[in-house]
Amino acid sequence: MNPIQVVVAHVLVVDDEPAIRELFAEILMDEGYPATCAADGREALSYLAQATALPCLILLDLNMPVMSGWDFRLAQLADPRMASVPVVAVSAGATVVQQAKIINATGYLAKPVEYVDLVTTVARYCQH
């Protein structure tokens, strides 16, 4: 008999700014949402390729070195295993709404992100 694997919903935070990654992860963990962090799109793709359980949500910064959120999203959508994971675009740009539409994100958060907006957005996609 196989043991039952309980998968706890977790969030993947992708941002090149360590302070933002750590703050988002800390807030989410305090609210009961485990979080995994990646410093850029390439690191996020590597994590997703190896993950046994996909996250319930990806919080994605769009402007990052190495691999941008734009390039990450193209690669994510091209992979059938990862394509269904919802993405919320996170950007400081004034055009974050338009940017989110262009990458076909399910939502957006404008930096600086308010605590309540972050938690409410994650709660929309993840149950704990």
CB atoms within 10 A of CB 125: 20
Prediction pTM value: 0.90
Low-confidence ranges of the chain (pLDDT < 50): 1-7
In sequence order, the β-bridge partners of residue 89 are 60, 108
Q: What is the pLDDT of residue 99?
A: 83
**What structural domains and CATH numbers belong to the chain?**
11-125 (3.40.50.2300)
- In three-state secondary structure terms, 60 is strand
Burial of 54 (0-12, 13-18, 19+ CB in 10 A): middle
Residue range 24-45, pLDDT digits in tens:
999 999 999 999 999 999 999 9
